[in-house]
Structure formats: C-alpha cells, structure tokens
C-alpha cells in the first residue's frame, strides 16, 4: 500500500480550496526575514526595497497550454504578446512601471524552430510596446504542450505605490475601460472550434466580432492610464487588475482592506458591441462583465476629493463606493435590489479535474 493510499482519508482536493485559497494555505505560516522584502505574497506584485526613492516590484505568471490557452485558435505571435502584457498589467496594478522581464519556456518536440520564433516575435513586439527589456530566462523540454513562464521587474516611487489593502470607507470604486468583451471573444473562439471539430469542411465565422476577439487574443496592459492618473495627481488608495473577473477582484480588495464594497448594475462599463454579442449568444451581458475575466482593466479606489478629475473621462467609470465591513459586499441591480457579491470568475485550480 502506498503512502497516498494509507493517508487517503487525510487528502484534501486542491479544487476545494481553489487557486487563491491554496496560495493562502501554503504561505500563511511563511514570514519574510529580509529587510528588503517590503511586501511578499498577497498582492499583484512583491515589493522590494533597495533604494531610498523607489520600491522595486516583482511578479511572475505562468501560462499552460490546455489550461490558459488553446493553440487551435491562439496564434503564437498573439500568445507571446499576451504573455508579456498580463505581467506588465500586474506592475500597473501597483501603480508602477515595468522595466525588465525574463522568459522561460518548455516546449515539446511538436514545435519546430519556426513556431518558437513566432512566439518570440510576439514577445519582442510587447517589449517594444511597453518599453521593457528581455534580460534572461530558461528553456527546457516538455512531454506535452507549451508552457510559458514570465517574470517581470518594475519600479514605483515610494509615495505613489498602491496596494490591494488601502481602500478606505467612502472611497469611490473606479474601473478603467470596459468589461466582458474578452470573455465573449473566448466564447466565439470555442464555439467555432467545436463547429470545426464536428465538421472540418466548415470555415470559422468570425466576422463582425473583431473587438471581442482582439480583447481576448491581444491583451493590452493599461500603462497609459497609469500615466493619466499620475498627470491628474491621483494616487489610488487601493488597486488590482481585473484578470479573474470583476467580482473576484472586488472581493480581494474588500478582504485585504477589511472593508465592504457596493457596486451598481447601471454603472458597469459595457461596450455596445459586447452587449449585442452577449444577446446574440443568449448570454447575460451583466454576468459577462461581472465574472468573465481576462479584461486586464484596472479596478481601484480613490478619495471622493478626486471625483471632479475623473467624472468626465471616458476611460474611467465610477461603479460604486467603499463601505464599512459590516455592510458587506453588494451588487445593486437596476430594480434597486441588493445581492451579495460572490466570486464566479476564473479559477484555474477549480477548473482542473
């Protein structure tokens, strides 16, 4: 009998905890020992202190074929670009600027040199776009599929850093851009893949869905909007990027700031093309905006003193406000009904058998 069979009654499935529950579980007893480790696990990036003026930021992200992407509809060049952009987004979420990345890949023997060149063409294009340097990495073999792991280094002035934990009661809750489009782009791609598998003679029908497809395949980090906030002299009290769905990110800020958050249905920023496509696919556009994920917009809270600066800027939408923790986290629908916010967005661990 193996040790796994002997301890079967003690085994807890990873899916019971989910990704963030697992992270919390395995790191809860770990304490940083070095003075330079200002902030460890628990935010969009680790915060390191090596100078008097700035903090250094560090984050890493892994993309696994079959879990995070499907090469049947994800062009390698787009995938390389996206892999960099999602890491730069983590630095943006700390109100910082990305400066360097390392790239590590594991590839199986089904990938020729030309395919790897195409992947790196996307990586180089993103480095050029975001002004980051590729300074190292690693390559190895994989028994199945493609694995991409990117680490990013950035910096932020000490007086401007934003954590998930800084939201204050009466803060305004603000979202950049629009929500739900990336999720709908994924629905189109998976639909067309299934149609093709059922009948390979039918060509994919992607016409008219350019916006949602681009939001899924060619992610952009909101670097320019961080610059806008700086120009407006706004330092968010708390901030996170929307990678796993708006509801999940709201709960992260609420938990780490020890507050409640209320948002409103009629305030959610949803592009008209997203709204129309959702209806065409018989999906609720509000659900897509709340739980879709992969929008990589920024969600942050600011003092009401900054209201006049942002109220007319189309790139920013005030979707709610911060309350006392006792009020809880609530979603107010158009009929003025209050519903508790629950996380229904992407969780890689809970989506794994």
User: 155 with 177, same domain?
Assistant: no
- Please give the order of strands across the beta sheet that includes 54-64: 37-39, 46-49, 54-64, 147-157, 97-107, 133-141
Position 20 scores a pLDDT of: 54
Q: Can you tell me the distance from the alpha carbon of 295 to that of 310, in angstroms, rounded to the nearest whole number?
A: 21
Indicate the number of domains in the chain.
2
Q: Does residue 10 fall inside a structural domain?
A: no
Q: Are residues 96 and 151 in the same domain?
A: yes
Give the residue carrying structure tokens 């301890």. Answer: 7
pLDDT tens, residue order, the chain (353 aa): 555 555 555 676 666 655 556 556 555 666 666 776 676 666 789 999 998 899 999 999 999 999 899 999 999 999 999 999 999 999 999 999 999 999 999 999 999 999 999 999 999 999 999 999 999 999 999 988 999 999 999 999 999 999 999 999 999 999 999 999 999 999 999 999 998 888 988 878 888 899 999 999 999 999 999 999 999 999 999 999 999 999 999 999 999 999 999 999 999 999 999 999 999 999 999 999 999 999 999 999 999 999 999 988 999 999 999 999 999 999 999 999 999 999 875 445 455 44
**Same structural domain, 252 and 285:** yes
**Cα separation, 236 vs 246, whole angstroms:** 17
pLDDT of residue 208: 85
| Residues spanned by the domain of 335 | 172-340
Residues 6+ apart with CB under 8 A from 84: 101, 122, 123, 126, 127, 130, 132, 150
Taking alpha carbons only, the member of 158, 204, 151, 145 closest to residue 49 is 158
Give the per-residue pLDDT at 10.
65
Residues 6 or more apart in contact with residue 251 via CB below 8 angstroms: 329, 341, 343
Q: What pLDDT is stored for residue 353 in this prediction?
A: 43
Name the β-bridge partners of 37.
48
Whether residues 77 and 213 fall in one domain: no
Are 151 and 286 in the same domain?
Answer: no
What would the DSSP string read from start to end of 37-99? Answer: EEE-SSSSSEEEE-SSSEEEEEEEEEEEBTTTB-TTTS-HHHHHHHHHHHHHHHHHTTT-EEE
Q: What is the pTM of this model?
A: 0.89
The predicted pLDDT at position 11 comes to 72
Strand segments (E) across the chain? 37-39, 46-49, 54-64, 97-107, 133-141, 147-157, 172-176, 238-241, 260-264, 298-302, 316-323, 330-332, 338-340
Q: For residue 165, is it within any domain? A: no
Six-digit token string for 1: 């009998």
End of a domain among 160, 182, 213?
160
* 215, 262: one domain: yes
pLDDT of residue 349: 47
What are the residues whose beta carbons fall under 8 Å from the beta carbon of 159, sequence distance 6 or more? 235
188 and 315 share one domain: yes
The answer on 229 and 90 residing in a single domain is no
């Amino acid at each position: 009998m193996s040790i796994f069979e002997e301890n079967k009654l003690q085994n807890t499935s990873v899916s019971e905890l989910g990704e963030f529950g697992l992270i919390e579980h395995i790191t809860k007893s770990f304490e940083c020992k070095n003075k330079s480790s200002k902030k460890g696990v628990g935010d969009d990036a680790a915060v390191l202190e090596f100078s008097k003026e700035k903090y250094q930021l560090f984050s890493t992200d892994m993309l696994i074929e079959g879990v995070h992407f499907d090469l049947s509809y994800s062009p390698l060049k787009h995938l390389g670009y996206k892999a960099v952009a999602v890491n730069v987004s983590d630095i943006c979420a700390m109100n910082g600027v990305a400066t360097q990345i390392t790239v590590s890949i594991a590839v199986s023997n089904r990938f020729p040199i030309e395919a790897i060149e195409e992947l790196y063409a996307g990586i180089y294009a993103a480095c050029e776009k975001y002004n980051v340097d590729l300074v190292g990495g690693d390559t190895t073999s994989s028994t199945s599929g493609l694995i991409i792991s990117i680490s990013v280094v950035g910096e932020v002035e000490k007086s401007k850093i934003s954590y998930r934990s800084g939201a204050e009661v009466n803060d305004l809750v603000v979202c950049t851009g629009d929500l739900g489009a990336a999720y709908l782009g994924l629905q189109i791609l998976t639909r067309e893949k299934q149609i093709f598998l059922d009948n390979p003679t039918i060509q994919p029908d992607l016409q008219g869905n350019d916006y949602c497809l681009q939001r899924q395949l060619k992610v952009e980090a909101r670097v320019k909007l961080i610059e806008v906030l700086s120009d407006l002299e706004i330092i968010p009290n708390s901030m996170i990027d929307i990678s796993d769905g708006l509801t999940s990110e709201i709960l992260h800020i609420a938990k780490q700031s020890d507050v409640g958050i209320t948002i409103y249905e009629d305030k959610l920023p949803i592009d008209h093309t997203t709204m129309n496509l959702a209806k065409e696919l018989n999906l609720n556009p509000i659900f897509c905006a709340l739980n879709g994920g992969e929008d990589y917009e920024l969600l942050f809270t600011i003092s009401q003193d900054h209201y006049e600066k942002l109220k007319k800027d189309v790139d920013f939408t005030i979707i709610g406000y911060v309350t006392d923790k006792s009020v809880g986290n609530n979603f107010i629908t158009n009929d003025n009904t209050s519903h508790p916010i629950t996380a229904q967005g992407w969780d890689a661990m809970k989506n794994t058998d």
